[in-house]
Structure 1
Amino acid sequence: MTSVWYDAPSHAAGAALATNPANADLDIRSTGVRVSVDDLAEVSAHARELGLTENPEGLQTLDVEIQATDPTAVGTFWDVALGGLQDPLRRGPAFAVRKLEEPRPLRNRIHVDVVRPEAEVIRARAGREPSGAFGVMLADVEGNEADLVPGDPLPGTTDWLALFSAMVFYPNATPQFVTTVAELADAADLPLLIDVRREGVLLDSGKDRWEGDDGADPRFVALAQQIEAAAKELGLRADPAPLRFVQFGIDAMDVPAVRAFWTRLLGYEEDPRMFLTDIRDPRGLNPVLFFQQLEEARQQRNRIRFELAVPEELLAQRIATAVSAGGRVLSENPYLVADPEGNEVLLGTRKTCPST
């Protein structure tokens, strides 16, 4: 598929593209819409009619590579834990497992949080006893760790689950439903991630954005209830099985320096809450990163690294940004860059990053 991002002033403005063509993937946001489709000509013409502005900054993707001496065993673990190395609804991030020639036995400085519906977590555990500080950690045969967390029902709703984000998926949803949801989100003045697929529509609050000062934010619950009522009117029934939330933690000796590197490289914004180190994609298209204090340096290279694909015209600028933010270029074509403490990102375009 070919992708394009259009800046737009509201959810409803982006949702106007939902009927043209029917087989496109749309990621509708309060500030624009990303369209992925085999042939962009029809979409581009419609976007011009609507006055939407193309912006290449909205096209980056952040995916993950796990290097393994036994890619089959490691890949099987992650496929089960995630419910698919590639999200079945084509939401990021995508995971790839590739051959590692020499073992790296030390613990990674990058680890993965996966939140899924409780029934899917029970199936993924398959009788294995989780461990770790919160009793949710599973590891593959080479020591790569996933905190596999079961989600909970969102209080005050019947269809939504709290998976760090509040989420719901309605199979076979119509363009009429997409338009209604977009208008409801605009009226509530709440940003909502509206991902339109041929399989249905997935709605997502974004991490923690459904929360208030004391539990669920009544404003978000009211919006969720309105959406449920609209779905019921159209005969739609929620299916929780495809839902998943993925984020990445980076252990660091100098958290401010490492956090600043990734914030600048990715064009992310910092979570304003003082007690968190999260950084997030302002467009809600790529995963959240958070940072944890490391007590003792680990010099070994991680078995996990990121793959950042950007439009070709932005590649040189991103490499310069990485270096100015304290990174080092380790190799070229494609560019392998290390952050100030050696965590790696393969930086290229869709033609040069292996997993894209």
Structure 2
Amino acid sequence: MIYLDYQATTPLAPEAREAMMPWLAGPEAPGFANPHSPHRAGRAAAAAVEVAREQVAALLPAGGRVIFTSGATEALNLAIFGSGARRLAVSAIEHAAVLDTARAADPGVALLPVDPQGLVAADVPLPAGADLVAVMQVNNEIGTIQPVAELARRAHAQGALFLCDAVQGAGKIAPPPDADLIAISAHKLYGPKGIGALWVRDGIDLKPLIHGGGQEGGLRSGTLSPALCAGFGAAAALCATLRESDAAHVDNLWKRARGALAGWTLNGSATARWHGNLNLRLAGLDVARLLSECRNVAFSAGSACASGSGRPSHVLRAIGLSDRDTKTAIRLGFGRYTREEDLDEGVAAIIAAAGSQGVALPWSESPS
């Protein structure tokens, strides 16, 4: 299988898997110990958790603390409900983990519009009285990078907190500056599924969602998994080391794929975006049939979280596409472990399958 769906999830880094293995040991070794237990084995597990916490924190701004969660969805719920915010403003292209949670907290939540390039204007009017503004760093469907630094400063000027979903950007680009709360997920940066984190700026007071033992600084109860934490930490450390080379590799892949699919219409800004995300549309394309015919290529018709819902993408609609046009879009995602030859083969299969539908194919060129 050729895997081109890095926005949905990334492959587990071998280094992350190796870091996890000692904490998945059976009864012959103490790696299974509860990190909240006071005995020697428990203290060793707790130490591994704290090493991982420092590794994850290194991807984020200074002056805050990392709270481990089950994933970014829990982190975002903790940020929104834990902040006690009553009047919210969020971008119209947020992930459902933000949109649905914001609507639950504030049924009248204000949606900040985006332009046809998929960007929130840095000077977009913020509603008076908003006490929490949420704008994601990198959009998961179209890859646009938002002006979060300026938006955070403007939110603060109005007395509001600024929350940033940095799931797609963490480990790839610099962390969002001036945010008060940042959510990230391990499995989007080559770590294991089932763990994420909320970064909380010093001085921000949150209330817990999950009550019990208060293991995570009183903000999140439940026994932590040393294995998941260790894998998350190792993946984060690797991202910090390989960020420049990863970016260079992704830029090369972007040029190859964009060249091979020249003439297909790009969704979202061509410049203010993460190049590991290529969202394109082709008039007349039956994407459901395309997915079926390209069985050996894993890619997406949109956000993985909405796949199969039958609903048009709210992100593509927000940038002005009709419902018909949203259903002609595909998303290709690639990253560290994508080989040039696999990308070329996958793109060629997509072009061939599109051609078999009788769709008028635009000019394209061979990858180079």
**Greater RCO (CA < 8 Å, at least 6 residues apart):** 2
- Higher relative strand content: 1
The normalised TM-score by structure 2 is 0.26
The normalised TM-score by structure 1 is 0.27
Larger Cα Rg: Structure 1 or Structure 2? 2
- Higher relative helix content: 2
